[in-house]
Amino acid sequence: MSTEVALPSQTGLQAFADQARQYADQSRAANTRRAYASDVRAFATWCAARGEPSLPATPAAVLAYLIDHATTLKVVTLQRRLAAIREQHAAAGFDLETSSSAFRDTWRGIKRAHGQPAVKKRPLMTVDLRRAVAILPDTLPGRRDRALILIGFAAALRRSELVGLEVARRDGAAWVEERPDGLVVHLARSKTDQSGEGAEIGVPYGSNMETCPVRSYRAWINAAHLTEGPAFRPIDRHGHIGTEAVTDRAVARIVQRTVEAAALADGYSPEEARQFAAAYAGHSLRSGLATSAAANDAPGHAIQRQLRHKRFDTTSGYIRSGQLFKQNPAGMAGL
């Protein structure tokens, strides 16, 4: 009897190769995959207009593309496009040589000449958050916006995490669990947790009724009669609650609209209030929690845990911002 092991045919292996490509596609977040696809299309269009091949492309063509867009695109966008072009070539089995001194020096010069610090949205500090949510009416949209803002702040959620929350447990989804001590936000997957291990975030009761995230969340859920599905949903002008979740852009608009209304109540002109609110966005909730906690001497490791940062270096930026005036030498110099 033969003891030879039968090897799978090439046709049989093809199925595994197809699966390998599918898993490789999942190695990056969906937003990143969409951005990379758009980037390589833009490069292909540019090359086609000049009679240049885009795959495989020459290093000279890639460098010319970067130079041609150095004054019209941000350096961070150019950097992502370069990464997308490199990845496309690697996936197709082509070696795109960008390590020559000429390429590196030119690219470094572009970054030095046109690079600029990222424009960060302002953190919504606790004192400003209190004024903002206080202006919200006790209506269905007002209760939703108050709960959304306070949960996003207290749990330090990203916009995608906030809109993905569901009222009840469902496999593969993020959801909110009610406990005697507060709420537990269960995240199935996040930006820094691409392997899908998940995370649990505690949201305790607030000391003030008006800004308590737990009471505000329960008030909204009860008023909307939600027992399953998305926790935060659109509401039309007739008061009808949608079945889908609000979008991440809606989160930014809710934050800005609420901050603008508070600014108007504080005496700002309409134009001043609009400009003031434009400095805030959905990320202002997450950064606001971190910065406010740091200003109140919360331990750095606790802030890192709430934000789910893998590296403390990322957290330390929020801590430095929140403690700019803590034991500041200029304030201790006797001026």
Domain definitions of the chain by residue range: 14-114, 126-322
How far is it, in rounded angstroms, from Cα 90 to Cα 6?
A: 32
What residues act catalytically?
158, 191, 283, 286, 309, 318
Q: Residue 121: is its pLDDT beyond 90?
A: no
Query: Checking DSSP bridges between strand 165-166 and strand 199-204, what pairing results, if any?
Result: unpaired
Position 255 confidence tier, pLDDT thresholds 50, 70, 90: very high
For position 10, what pLDDT does the model report?
54
Position 326 confidence tier, pLDDT thresholds 50, 70, 90: confident
Mean pLDDT of the chain: 88
How far is it, in rounded angstroms, from Cα 289 to Cα 286?
A: 5
pLDDT tens-digit map of 195-235? 456 799 999 999 998 999 999 999 999 999 999 999 999 99
Could you tell me the two tokens for 139?
């209506």
How far is it, in rounded angstroms, from Cα 60 to Cα 286?
A: 42
Residues paired with 230 in a beta bridge: 166
For position 2, what pLDDT does the model report?
47
Q: Residue 327: is its pLDDT beyond 90?
A: no
How far is it, in rounded angstroms, from Cα 66 to Cα 98?
A: 12
pLDDT tens-digit map of 146-165? 999 999 999 999 999 999 99
pLDDT tens-digit map of 16-65? 556 655 655 555 566 778 889 999 999 999 999 999 999 999 999 999 99
CATH, domain 126-322, list 3.40.50.2300, 3.50.80.10, 2.40.50.100, 1.10.443.10: 1.10.443.10
* Diameter over CA atoms, the chain: 96
What are 97-102's contacts with CB under 8 Å, separation 24+?
Answer: 97/59, 98/59, 98/62, 100/59, 102/63
Give the count of alpha carbons within 13 A of 297, CB side only.
2
User: CB–CB of 184/174 below 8 Å?
Assistant: no
What are 16-24's contacts with CB under 8 Å, separation 24+?
Answer: 24/91
CATH number of 14-114: 1.10.150.130
The pTM of the full predicted model, rounded to 2 decimals, is 0.71
> Which helix (H) or strand (E) segment is 255 a member of?
helix 248-265
Percent of the chain with pLDDT over 70: 87
Mean pLDDT of 136-143: 96
User: CB–CB of 167/226 below 8 Å?
Assistant: yes
User: CB–CB of 129/288 below 8 Å?
Assistant: yes
For position 1, what pLDDT does the model report?
46
pLDDT tens-digit map of 188-205? 865 554 445 679 999 999
Higher pLDDT pick, 172 / 8: 172
How far is it, in rounded angstroms, from Cα 273 to Cα 263?
A: 5
Least confident residue range of 107-111, 118-122, 251-255: 118-122
